[in-house]
Every structure is written in structure tokens, then in C-alpha cells.
Structure 1
Amino acid sequence: MASVGRLALSRLSTLGVKRNISTTVVRRSQAWQQEGVPGANLPFSIKNRYKLTLYFVLFFGSAFNLPFILVRHQILKK
């Protein structure tokens, strides 16, 4: 009987601890200050349009050109 009570108590305390920790983390993260700001959650800046364009060209261009480079390498390989 004591083990059943302990199990129920551990479940309740675990749920309570998780809730308290998660709300504390949200409060400390200050994510509420950046809500509604476009690009606030991106790992790069979108303020400079030319730098952003260069990033897009390099990222998508390298993925597009990779098969062509690999085929050329295989053709030229002896």
C-alpha cells in the first residue's frame, strides 16, 4: 500500500516539477520580448538584403551545382 501511495506521489511531484521548470524557463528566456518581430528567431540577420542574397545563392547554388561537379570529376578521372 505504501508503494502505491509513493507511485502516485512521485507522478504528481514529477508533473509539478516539470510544470514549474518549464514556466520558469519560458520566463527567463525572454522570448516574449521578441514576439511579432520578423526574423527574430532566425540564426542569421535579414536586415542586409545583399548579404542575405549572397547567403541564399551560396547555399542553394552549392546544392544545385554539386551533382554537376561530381559528374565532371568522374568523367575526368582516369
Structure 2
Amino acid sequence: MLGQSILRFTTSVVRRSHHEDGPGKNLPLSVETKWRLLLMMTLYFGSGLAALFFL
């Protein structure tokens, strides 16, 4: 009984959500500009690598 009500709730939430479909639309950053994405990834991974040498 409880499981069915939870399932109904989750399916109704998914149906009500209006989001764009397609590759890259569910990411927390924009993948439209290749150079900005390259810069952000370089900063992200570079900061992790730099932390190894400064800690």
C-alpha cells in the first residue's frame, strides 16, 4: 500500500517536471561553448592536481 503510493507520487513528479531532453542538458554546467568547457575542466582537474603538491 505504501509502496504503491510512493510509486504514484514519484511518477507524477517526473511527469510534472518540464526539462529539456538531449545530451548535456542535465549537467550542472553548460557544454555549448567548447572553449569555456575546456577552461572549466582544466581549472577543476588542475586544482585537484595542484592540491597534491601544496598539501
Question: How high is the TM-score relative to the length of structure 1?
Answer: 0.61
- Whose helix fraction is larger, Structure 1's or Structure 2's? 1
Among candidates 49, 52, 59, match of residue 44 of structure 2: 59
Residues of 2 paired with 1:15 and 1:65: CA distance? Answer: 48
Unaligned runs of at least 5 residues, structure 1:
1-11, 71-78
Higher RCO (C-alpha under 8 Å, 6+ residues apart): 2
Q: Supply the RMSD in Å over aligned alpha carbons.
A: 1.5
Q: Deviations over 1:13-69 (max 9, x none)?
A: x133112211110111135x51xx110110000001111011011000011111222
Code of the residue aligned with 1:45 in structure 2: it is S
Aligned length: 55
Runs (4+) of structure 1 moved beyond 6 Å?
Answer: none
| Equivalent in the alignment of 1:41 | 26
Larger Rg: 1
Task: Report the TM-score, using the length of structure 2 for normalisation.
Answer: 0.82
Structure 2 alignment gaps of length 5 or more: none
Q: Does residue 28 in structure 1 map to residue 28 in structure 2?
A: no
Identical-residue share of aligned pairs (%): 36
